[in-house]
Amino acid sequence: MSQVVRGVIARAKGEPVTVENVVVPDPGPGEAVVKIQACGVCHTDLHYREGGINDEFPFLLGHEAAGVVESVGEGVTNVAPGDYVILNWRAVCGNCRSCLKGKPWYCFSTFNADQKMTLEDGTELSPALGIGAFIEKTLVHSGQCTPVDPEAPATAAGLLGCGVMAGLGAAINTGDVGRGDSVAVFGCGGVGDAAIAGAYLAGASTIIAVDIDDTKLEWAKEFGATHTCNANETDAVEYIQSVTDGNGADVCIDAVGHPEVYQQCFQARDLAGTVVLVGVPNPEMKLELPFIEVFGRGGALKSSWYGDCLPSRDFPMLIDLYRQGRLDLDRFVSETIGIDGVEEAFHKMERGEVLRSVVVID
């Protein structure tokens, strides 16, 4: 028996989202139905709504969620009904060329549910990042369910499903930040602040937050920034050099995804340092760099996909750190809203008023 539940739908490019009835099939082989408890509002949801990802409307939005497994299909062994899980968009296949090389966090053939959720007239929905979690219950591949300690509230745990994991992982996994390192993070929204929190967790001793909004720089301090720089008032490259003995930072993280920011990261980095790109550029952007310096400065220019996370390894570990009071996930939650509050949350996000609005579903 399929079920009919309420979900947030983007029907057409740029049009306000609507809450509609969605038909969720029973889980087939390898699938699970998950009762969603909370789901964060991420920039990617807005990008889907604006047609910036692809044209496969209508979309079922939401992808940063935690909840409880309600039922599983044939052959599912990694989770069972009643398990408390964070949903991920990296259900690794184990067989692609990256998995076979022992790098499953790059898996090139991740799993999603085979069946489609639909509107009541039978129109197939495209779930955001293969999840679709602004909804009472969603259908996913069982590998997209990562069990974690149920003591962590869903409003906090769900955030690890996307943006906060991307930022933490940009510092910890991709940037490989270590004890005593200097780290500069450009862009102090949800992902950038998570990168700051990651650098702090990893033991960085100098953490420089760069933004053009003083409110965001104040937020950054709460996550562990030791220095802040308003790039509208101060040259960010010079500032970073001035607080790192003239050398530049060991790791510079671009959480904006703009060529000018990337160039600043490139220049603000110490010799043999690392640049990590975790902000998402738009398709029209081009990057220009002095090629001799790409060689001469050495080090690494890296991109971070989903924080190069391995959900089964990273989610339970980060929830443990949260439970121990070492990673303040609650601080990312600016407000909790109902399922009908997503459109307004998009506007607040565009105005830079919130780190995360989180939809809570009873």
Q: For binding to Zn ion (CB under 5 A), which residues are involved?
A: 42, 44, 93, 96, 99, 107, 109, 162
Among residues 25 and 130, whose Cβ is nearest to Zn ion? Answer: 130
DSSP H helices, 125-258, are 154-157, 163-169, 190-201, 214-222, 236-242
> Which two structure tokens, joined as six digits, stand for 99?
């998995």
Distances in Å between the Cα of 167 and the Cα atoms of 159, 256, 332, 343 are: 11, 11, 12, 24
> Which two structure tokens, joined as six digits, stand for 316?
């339970």
Q: Least Å distance between CB 125 and Zn ion? A: 18
Among residues 53 and 93, whose Cβ is nearest to Zn ion? Answer: 93
Q: Let me know: does 320 contact 151? Beta carbons within 8 Å.
A: no
Q: Least Å distance between CB 196 and Zn ion? A: 18
One-letter amino acid identity for 22? Answer: V
* 3-state secondary structure string across 156-194: HHHHHHCHHHHHHHHHHHHCCCCCCCEEEEECCCHHHHH
Rounded CA-CA distance 163/227 in Å is: 23
The label of the residue with tokens 């930072």 reads 249
Q: Least Å distance between CB 29 and Zn ion? A: 19
Among residues 87 and 184, whose Cβ is nearest to Zn ion? Answer: 87
Rounded CA-CA distance 308/173 in Å is: 6
Listed in sequence order, the residues at least 6 apart from 149 whose beta carbon sits closer than 8 Å to its beta carbon are 84, 316, 319, 320, 323
Among residues 46 and 240, whose Cβ is nearest to Zn ion? Answer: 46
Q: Least Å distance between CB 278 and Zn ion? A: 12
Among residues 231 and 361, whose Cβ is nearest to Zn ion? Answer: 361
Q: Least Å distance between CB 45 and Zn ion? A: 7
Rounded CA-CA distance 134/345 in Å is: 13
Q: Least Å distance between CB 98 and Zn ion? A: 6
Rounded CA-CA distance 166/176 in Å is: 14
Rounded CA-CA distance 209/238 in Å is: 14
Count the neighbouring beta carbons within 10 Å of the beta carbon of residue 146. 26
Among residues 195 and 237, whose Cβ is nearest to Zn ion? Answer: 195
The label of the residue with tokens 């940009």 reads 170
Rounded CA-CA distance 50/18 in Å is: 14
Among residues 101 and 179, whose Cβ is nearest to Zn ion? Answer: 101
Q: Least Å distance between CB 39 and Zn ion? A: 10
